[in-house]
Amino acid sequence: MSLPSTEKAFHPGLGLRLSEQSLSFSYGSGYFGPEAEMRSLDAIRPSLLDPQCSGPDPVYGICMDIGKTVDREELVRRYLLFGVVAYAAGTLGREPVRSQGHVHAISPHSGWSAPEVFEIWQGRAIIYAQESAGNDPGRCFAIEAGPGDHVVVPPGWAHCVINADPGERMVFGALCDRQYGFVYEGVRAHRGLAWFPLVEAGRIDWQRNPSYMPSRLLVRGPRQYDELKIRNDKPLYTQFVENPDALQWVSEPQRAADAWKNFEL
């Protein structure tokens, strides 16, 4: 997989700005959001190919629960949560900057492990996901996405997000369940996910993790999620404002139960 440069500018429909000096954000008038929580390199070492590697620290900054002040009550009522994450440039040993692998915990209000929608805002990303964090990872996908692209990770899948271009910072937004939680045990028991991304001569190559049963990795670009009513012509937040019920399956996955059967990223 090659490492293309950013192809286009994208505005997420939200009034926030990434700091030039750090991985933090500031908010415009009429918007809410917390201070960025910084994820240290030590926090993600258990998922890395080389847990003793060096690299940027913090690895990324994350702000969960952002939006327009006028929408906050509706987001809470619907158990929906928008977040934004900024990744550092650089590498973690031989790997690009990335998050540690995890599965979403069961949300108390729905009884489901929640899905998640990623929307790339700046740079290039790879969303990696596998069906299971058990010994047999099942189907494995690596979806390369750029500004304005959407990628959906279905309920119960182990996944991580990767900065596909070590030469620049990467920023993405995410829509998820307000009662989100992360389960790391399965991934950590296998010393990472089933495939490791490696930066090799201007490319991302993939190395299989021998702690899992053999699996096949499908690498490709994003698709259109017609079955989930996600539009590619508008930012995700704008889609929520205009028709919040269309995205209610994020916090109520049972609404899209048929779509999750044999789901492909």
Residue 58, preceding peptide bond in cis (omega within 30° of 0): yes
The model's pTM is 0.95
Provide the residue ranges of all domains of the chain, joining segments of one domain with +: 16-260
pLDDT in tens, 29-53: 999 999 999 999 999 999 999 999 9
Average pLDDT of the chain, as a whole number: 95
Cα-to-chain-centroid distance, residue 154: 12
Identify the helix (H) or strand (E) that includes residue 158.
strand 158-163
Confidence of residue 4 (pLDDT cuts 50, 70, 90): very low
pLDDT in tens, 103-159: 999 999 999 999 999 999 999 999 999 999 999 999 999 999 999 999 999 999 999
Q: If you write DSSP's letter for every residue of 23-73 in order, what string do you get?
A: S-EEE-TTEE-PPPEEEPHHHHGGGSSSTT----SS-EEEEES-EEGGGHH
CATH assignment, 16-260:
2.60.120.10
Q: Which residues, in sequence order, are bridge partners of residue 26?
A: 17
